[in-house]
Amino acid sequence: MPIEIKNINNIEKFFHLYNKNISYMFYINKYFVPINIHFGKRAELQNIPDSMKYYNRPYTPCYREEDSEFTLETACMEYSLFGITDFRPPTLSISFENGSNVFELAYKKYEILHSKVNLKGLPSTFSKNDGEATTLIITLEERDKRLAVDLIYTIFEKHNVITRSALIKNTGIESFIIEEAMSFSIDLKGFGYDIINLAGAWGRERHVDRTRLYTGERNIGSVTGASSHIQSPFMAVCLEETNEKYGEAYGFGLLYSGNHKFTAYVGTSFSTRIVAGINNKNFSWILDKEESFQTPEAVLVYSENGLGGMSRTFHNFFREHLCRSLFADKIRPVLINNWEATYFDFNRDEIIEIAEQASNLGVELFVLDDGWFADRNADNCSLGDWYVNLTKLPGGLSSLANEINKMGMQFGIWVEPEMVSPTSNLYKEHSDWCLHSGYCNYLSRNQLVLDLSREDVQNYIIDKMSEVFLSANISYVKWDMNRYMTNVGSAALATKRQREVSHRYILGLYRILDILTQKFPYILFEGCAGGGGRFDPGFMHYMAQFWTSDDTDAWERCLIQYGTSFIFPPIFMGNHVSIVPNHQTNRITPIKTRANIALMGAFGYELDLRKLTAYELEEIKIQIDVYKEIRKLLLDGNYYRIGNPSLDNLFAWQIVSKDKNEIIAVIVQKMMIPNGPKYSIRLEDLKEDALYKEMKRDKGYTGSQLMYVGFDDMEFKVDFDSMLLHFKCIGEDVYE
């Protein structure tokens, strides 16, 4: 029974969601306010902790005039509101028709369901079998019955995770405006925590940023219409001493691909509030009577094994309970993509030449990137005109796909369905189909954004993309999106609802993804937005692969993939080997290292094989064989970061199979240091008494040696040098 409800100290409703490792506890106080007690390591309570009591302080308004012992100013709230003695960031803000924004919510009832509930219109995590997840729904009601809110919690049996969301219901007779509807808030006891977020820009996504918060507010988020390169919908909170391996850490992820916001706040109470959800910038929502508004789902992770433990919890949970693609637990094909090889400048013969060479080297999937349709010879036209360019590709997609299939490879294509070029036929026919606020339209990459808040536009995209996907034997689709949204508005919505457009866009996008991914379950979809600009847990519900970044430089990828792994499993990261000097950084790195970094994910190439040396081609053949040998491990192996590429000259990544019988590790040295150190690294999570063989070197090591003494058979010769190790267990209990 993972949810317990009991009476402690005459407090009637004490709710305890738990599994073997974690507890999430709150109770309903005498004013029917849900108060958080604990989220963290599994615990049992004999009494409601004293720390929950409030002792009168000057300057603090009390919740009830006659009772100086309770104020929301310091209470650990489950769902915070503004204007009623809590001065911290709220979870829900509403404007009523009389102009007031003050309201109270009081506990009314609870309900327990023995599975995870799917959220309507939004991605959500899921349970597959009865009993693996239990859901608690707490209903709060407003005093004048104008609204009610369902707080939805789910605990999973095998994961140190709580999911949360809120359903806001208009139960009154008047409409009201939701100004802010966050998915959850939680008040963690204590302050001075380190706040970690994944920040960046195009070409340098998800760099880890760690900063301490003693007072005030730390806000991160996106207002670009997408989850963005700038900040991932993620925040971690940990103690100063928490590191990769040790210490407590909380991770918060949001299943949302649009404007999001995460706030960490320390006020007078010396507790730290975390609130996350849809960004309230440029957002409001008119909720008419009998309507409801569902917030996106948040995933709350607790780890007592440092940041590494937090990441592994996210990885396992997302793989098992978030991504519904059939490919989630399938090995990913080795692909070659023609973008950095040809950009827009290709024809059928050239594509066939590259494909033939790729197939000889063992590549399994050929991806035709941007430029295959209409007049698309540059990025200034044709988006929206989804018919094949027969001058470039005589015979069309179908004939090309057949030719590539004959070589023993699958065929995939690139699309950017959410956009329109102003010179396209689509724009000429439907100029009101793009987002616009009545003000001038700002172009970015020469394109405009289609208004996905409109059902007619959604249906157009569903139909057009279905046509494309059915036009040839297509096994893979790269779904790109290459600009942020500006002057967001919709011609199809009433003036007073214009602040709803960004969220309606995302709901429209999810409807499209939902329909297309179910209609084409055999297609491996790869999410992309100018690289990793929409690599988020919301999208991951539909897709099992993401283009991690347009930056293919091996060293930059170390930083990007390191940060990305804080929340996303490596197998979801699309990583390609490209040529040097690198197109984004002009940096030269060894081909071995480019591959070793890319091997930790969904592996592929993005270069013109016709221009490589015999040595490089031979290397590629070996790399592909290696990937095919190790890739099963990436599916459910446990992932460890050893060292930090932005701080250490030597760092490693390691993946260990669940039975600990097989390990791969990639070790990277950044710079050659003259007369430098003799490096050693300690691997993790092996069987102490087992004997492991490193397959390439054909050399044996005990588990305890690799974990406690260290592995130091390494020699690096150049900057950005690296090595890949592959260990297999060849004997158990060798020292018993």
Which are the catalytic amino acids?
Answer: 480, 550
Beta strands in 475-552 (DSSP E): 476-479, 524-527, 545-547
With CB under 6 A as the contact rule, which of the stretches 145-153, 395-403, 434-442, 525-533 interacts with ligand DGJ?
A: 525-533
As to burial, measured by CB atoms within 10 angstroms (0-12 exposed, 13-18 middle, 19+ buried), residue 87 is middle
H or E element in which residue 415 lies:
strand 410-415
392/499 with CB nearer ligand DGJ? 392
Candidates 420, 528, 609, 723: give the one binding ligand DGJ (CB under 6 A): 528
Among 189, 186, 191, which Cα is nearest to 166's? 186
What x/- string results for residues 627 through 656 when contact with ligand DGJ is judged by CB under 6 A? ------------------------------
**The tokens 């650990």 sit on which residue?**
76
DSSP assignment of 645-707 equals: TTT-SEEEEEEE-TTSSEEEEEEEE-S--TT-----B---S--TT-EEEETTTTEEEEHHIII
Which C-beta is closer to ligand DGJ: that of 528 or that of 559? 528
- Out of 150, 369, 553, 608, point to the residue binding ligand DGJ (CB under 6 A): 369
The two beta strands, 271-278 and 260-266, are antiparallel
- 446 CB neighbour count, 10 Å cutoff: 16
Separation of alpha carbons 706 and 691, rounded Å? 10
Q: How far is the CB of 732 from ligand DGJ (least distance, A)?
A: 46
- Where does residue 478 fall: left (phi above 0), alpha (psi -120 to 50 degrees), or beta otherwise? beta
Q: Taking CB under 6 A as the rule, does residue 385 contact ligand DGJ?
A: no
Please identify, using beta-carbon distances, which residue of 202 and 701 lies nearer to ligand DGJ. 202
Residue 482 vs 486, nearer CB to ligand DGJ: 482
CA nearest neighbour of 264 among 209, 216, 198: 216
| Choices 135-143, 312-320, 488-496, 528-536 (CB under 6 A): range interacting with ligand DGJ | 528-536
Residue 482, interface with ligand DGJ (CB under 6 A)? yes
250 vs 605 by CB, closer to ligand DGJ: 605
Cα 299 to the chain's mean position, in Å? 11
Minimum CB–partner distance for residue 448 and ligand DGJ (Å):
16
Task: Find the shortest distance in angstroms from Cβ 124 to ligand DGJ.
Answer: 27
Contact segment (CB under 6 A) with ligand DGJ among 244-252, 435-443, 524-532, 661-669 equals 524-532
CB 479 to ligand DGJ: min, Å: 10
The residue to which tokens 């991605």 are assigned: 123
108 or 445: CB nearest ligand DGJ: 445
CB of 226: closest distance to ligand DGJ in angstroms? 13
Which residue's Cβ lies closest to ligand DGJ? 370
| Cα 224 to Cα 121, 264, 307, 483, 673, distances in angstroms | 21, 21, 28, 9, 42
* Residue 366 near ligand DGJ by CB under 6 A: no
CB of 78 to ligand DGJ, least distance (A): 40
Using the minimum distance from each CB to ligand DGJ, give the nearer residue, 3 or 544. 544
Within 286-345, the residues that bind ligand DGJ by CB under 6 A are 339
Least distance from ligand DGJ to the Cβ atom of residue 421, Å: 12
How far is 320 from 318, CA to CA, in rounded Å? Answer: 6
Residue 505's H or E segment, with its range, is helix 501-519
3-state secondary structure of 604: strand
HSE-CB of 676 using CA atoms within 13 angstroms: 16
Residues in the chain: 736
- Do the strands 193-199 and 207-213 form a parallel or antiparallel pair, or are they unpaired? antiparallel
**Smallest separation (angstroms) from ligand DGJ to the CB of 702:** 44
370: contact with ligand DGJ by CB under 6 A: yes
Q: Dihedrals φ, ψ of 189, to 5°?
A: -70, 140
Distance of closest approach, residue 383 Cβ to ligand DGJ, in angstroms? 10
Sketch the per residue contact string, 550 through 589, with ligand DGJ: x for CB under 6 A, - otherwise: x---------------------------------------
Tell me the window of 75-83, 188-196, 261-269, 527-535 that interacts with ligand DGJ (CB under 6 A): 527-535
Taking phi first (over 0 means left), then psi (-120 to 50 degrees means alpha), and beta for anything else, what does residue 696 get?
alpha
Answer whether 148's CB lies under 8 Å from 169's CB. yes
CB of 485 to ligand DGJ, least distance (A): 17
Closest to ligand DGJ by CB, 261 or 557: 557
DSSP sequence for 250-290: EEEEE--SSSEEEEEEE-TTSEEEEEEEE--TT--EEE-TT
Work out how close the CB of 403 gets to ligand DGJ at its nearest, in angstroms, rounded to a whole number: 22
Scan residues 418-457 and list those touching ligand DGJ (CB under 6 A). none
The number of CA neighbours under 13 Å toward the Cβ of 561 is: 36
* Bridge partner residues of 189 (DSSP): 271
* Residue with Cβ nearer ligand DGJ (205 or 451): 205
661/647 Cα distance (integer angstroms): 31
Residue 407 near residue 356, CB atoms below 8 Å: yes
Give 161 or 607: the residue with its C-beta nearer to ligand DGJ. Answer: 607
Nearer residue to ligand DGJ within complex by CB, 504 or 534: 534
Q: How far is the CB of 445 from ligand DGJ (least distance, A)?
A: 8
User: What are the phi and psi torsion angles at 608 (to 5°)?
Assistant: -90, 105
Asked whether position 530 contacts ligand DGJ by CB under 6 A, the answer is: yes
Q: What angle in degrees, to the nearest 10, is found between the helix axes of 501-519 and 455-470?
A: 30
CB of 370 to ligand DGJ, least distance (A): 3
Nearer to ligand DGJ, 320 or 416 (CB): 416
Query: Secondary structure of 349-408 in the HEC alphabet?
Result: HHHHHHHHHHHHHCCCEEEECCCCECCCCCCCCCCCCCCECCCCCCCHHHHHHHHHHHCC
Binding residue count for ligand DGJ, defined by CB under 6 A: 11
The one among 364, 480, 500, 619 contacting ligand DGJ by CB under 6 A: 480
R_g over Cα of the chain? 27
Which residues sit opposite 27 in a β-bridge? 14, 35
Q: At what angle do helices 591-598 and 554-564 cross, to 10 degrees?
A: 10
The residue among 34 and 384 lying less far from ligand DGJ, judged by its C-beta, is 384
Span interacting with ligand DGJ, options 115-123, 523-531, 643-651, 720-728, rule CB under 6 A: 523-531
Would you tell me which residues interact with ligand DGJ (CB under 6 A)? 339, 369-370, 414, 480, 482, 528, 530-531, 547, 550
